[in-house]
Structure 1
């Protein structure tokens, strides 16, 4: 079979395969052509919202309040609207962003429409790292604008048709409560024993007055603190299936074309082409599975490994002071472990980190820079082992309840149960000279 015939026949068989497969897995939807789904129509509706971004939505009140803790300070560009309980790293990011907006006399407004909460109008809960976590994801269409505070036309406008808003929060779990494994620890926490007289007091707000002794009880320990807030656009499920089907069709066409051109027998060439495409696809899946399994194996080699805490340490190491004039926002995304080396005292890891930075230059539109970087970090191998040298027991303020930190037998705050992180739990990034020395040592070690 000549070149032209092989190309035509390969294309014909590929189109037939794609048609029969696509008919079963792809649902054709023409609702995007309706006027109510046009970009101009949705933007007009969002700009007409005078009661806030939740106008016309049946969103659960707790989810709405959690998102407002971030959307309101950004919309007003005022640090005074920030809640009291926030993760320190996240607070530094938000304060830096608000500070940059204040210097340029701008505010960041985010309006939403067609909000669909995932999962069904509730949080997703789990327990990890001695904390209770909850996450909420909103699927919607979003209009993000940078507006001058004095009024006027927007400086920058971004419309996201398939937008997602993700909010991640956590709260500490008392050491005494960790003995009993539960799905949710403080969801139904309505009463507490007064620390002054011991009476049982019903909690009604963050600050409650004991009716027996008049003591003021602060119950901020049970409040959620925000860890992550993201606004991004993601490809729809149907479009993703179409792209996957087209990729499979391209692979199928190449295999069929080569087999039809090189093999004279048509039936044998068709069978060989389909078989070759299946083998290539299976090989790609196998490589992905091996890579995923390698990541899990490396994570198990690290004692008390926590990706959330590692991401926090990387944020602190890459942006120690936050004095970047044009940097509006930054985040550490996917972390891929490349190597783990354990000694008797320390654990040293090599990780590939994907970083995203958003800049807002004076008088220019914001832009985003994404890149990956390989880092070498180290930490004590057994961070739960603490030296009783007196430094850990010095009097300090508890970062959770604010009381003088007097640790109990489990090295936790005797008042609220917060576990104080010590220095040997923190991942420390090596400098360039240390990284070069470590790489030379590893190279010489492998040669031996």
Structure 2
């Protein structure tokens, strides 16, 4: 068979196969073409007046409070609206962002509509590295704008029809509380009885005032600190399947073309072409599977490994001295390249992928991708104590920033962070 005939026949077979597979795996949602789901209708709903960004949504109270603790300060470029309890790295990031916005005389207004909390209008919870974590993701349509608060002039805006908002929070778990099998630490401390008047009061922090009798209530409850906030657009399942099908079709087309061109018997050439396509796919999947297994094995070699905490440490190292025009930044993927354990320390080599958004003066913001290779280390067993250390009467907590008197275990009485030794943090080598 000539090359042109082989190309034509291979293309025909590939198109027929692709259409057959597409009918099985791709589900076209016709609702997106309804009038209420078009951009114009969504923009109209986005600009409905609300006192708070999530007012009128079906988002549960705790999730709404977590997101609005970030959305409100950005929307007004006001640091006074920031929560008292934040991870120190995240607080420095928010402070820097609000300072830059105020310098440019702008605010970052994020408006939402058609909000759908995932999964099941609740936090996803887990615990690792001595912390309890919770994460919430909102699926929505969003309009992110940089606006002058005085004139109302919009400098820049991004509309995302399929948008996701993600917030990640954590709190330290006291060592004594970690000894049991409890998986939801302090979950029973959300409601307490006022010792003065007997009223049931919602506990939202270390110290609250009873709204009924005015009594001050102290508690050892460790409230949540925000670690990550991000807004992004994620590829839908149909788009992922379409790209995968497109890549598979290209591979199939190439294999069939060469088989039909080199082998005269059509039945044999088609069989060989299909077999080659399957072998290529199996090879790609085995490579991905082997790489994932390798990553998992390296993670298992790190005592009390937490990718979220490692991300926070890397972010602190990378952005200790921030560039003047840097508005927002984040560490996305972390790929472990090497793990070396000694008796005392763990040393890791990681490849870090992230993105940075810049806001130059009198120019539109722009985003660029970042890729770095870093070597970090920490104590191999972070909980082991070498010495008792000095006992401080007052101290600023390196985790939450609170000024406090350490408890009997020499831990922060607000967030539970251990002050005995600070060897759990990953430091650049």
Relative distance call for 1:383 and 1:172 in structure 2 (3 A) is closer
Relative distance call for 1:359 and 1:254 in structure 2 (3 A) is same
- Aligned residue for 1:397? 395
- Aligned residue for 1:437? none
Distance 1:316 1:76 in 2: 25
- Aligned residue for 1:278? 278
- Summarize the alignment of residues 99-178 of structure 1 with structure 2, pairs less than 5 Å apart: 99-178=99-178
Distance 2:374 2:193 in 1: 45
Matched, 1:342 2:379: no
Q: CA deviation at 1:210?
A: 8.7
Give 5+ residue unaligned stretches, structure 1.
431-448
Give 5+ residue unaligned stretches, structure 2.
none
Indicate if the aligned counterparts of 2:353 and 2:371 stay in contact, CA closer than 8 A: yes
Indicate if the aligned counterparts of 1:53 and 1:113 stay in contact, CA closer than 8 A: no
Distance 2:215 2:52 in 1: 38
Matched, 1:361 2:356: no
Distance 2:59 2:281 in 1: 42
Deviates more, 1:280-289 or 1:216-225: 216-225
Q: CA deviation at 1:58?
A: 1.8
Deviates more, 1:264-273 or 1:393-402: 393-402
- Aligned residue for 1:330? 329
Q: CA deviation at 1:296?
A: 1.2
Residue-by-residue CA offset, 1:24-76 (whole Å, 9 max, x unaligned): 11112233333322222211221233444335522222211111100000001
- Summarize the alignment of residues 88-103 of structure 1 with structure 2, pairs less than 5 Å apart: 88-103=88-103
Indicate if the aligned counterparts of 2:89 and 2:312 stay in contact, CA closer than 8 A: yes
Relative distance call for 1:238 and 1:121 in structure 2 (3 A) is same
Relative distance call for 1:339 and 1:319 in structure 2 (3 A) is same
Relative distance call for 1:329 and 1:278 in structure 2 (3 A) is same
Residue-by-residue CA offset, 1:282-318 (whole Å, 9 max, x unaligned): 0001011111111111122222222222222211211
- Aligned residue for 1:312? 312
Distance 1:428 1:415 in 2: 25
Distance 2:136 2:130 in 1: 20
Distance 2:228 2:209 in 1: 33
Distance 2:166 2:2 in 1: 55
Distance 1:101 1:2 in 2: 64
Distance 2:417 2:374 in 1: 30
Q: CA deviation at 1:113?
A: 1.2
- Aligned residue for 1:186? 186
Residue-by-residue CA offset, 1:222-252 (whole Å, 9 max, x unaligned): 3221111010001111121111111111111
Cα RMSD, aligned residues only: 2.6
Deviates more, 1:281-290 or 1:114-123: 114-123
Matched, 1:70 2:63: no
Relative distance call for 1:419 and 1:116 in structure 2 (3 A) is same
- Aligned residue for 1:22? 22
Residue-by-residue CA offset, 1:310-365 (whole Å, 9 max, x unaligned): 2222112112244x211111111111111112223322211100121111011011
Q: CA deviation at 1:201?
A: 9.0
Distance 1:80 1:413 in 2: 23
Distance 1:234 1:210 in 2: 43
- Aligned residue for 1:256? 256
TM-score, normalisation: structure 2: 0.91
Relative distance call for 1:398 and 1:182 in structure 2 (3 A) is farther
Indicate if the aligned counterparts of 1:26 and 1:241 stay in contact, CA closer than 8 A: yes
Indicate if the aligned counterparts of 2:334 and 2:350 stay in contact, CA closer than 8 A: yes
Distance 2:198 2:381 in 1: 40
TM-score, normalisation: structure 1: 0.87
Distance 1:193 1:14 in 2: 72
Relative distance call for 1:72 and 1:22 in structure 2 (3 A) is same
Indicate if the aligned counterparts of 2:53 and 2:68 stay in contact, CA closer than 8 A: no
Distance 2:413 2:165 in 1: 37
Distance 1:124 1:156 in 2: 33
Distance 1:244 1:40 in 2: 31
Indicate if the aligned counterparts of 1:357 and 1:370 stay in contact, CA closer than 8 A: yes
- Aligned residue for 2:376? 377
* 3-state SS in 1 of match to 2:11: helix
Count of residue correspondences: 422
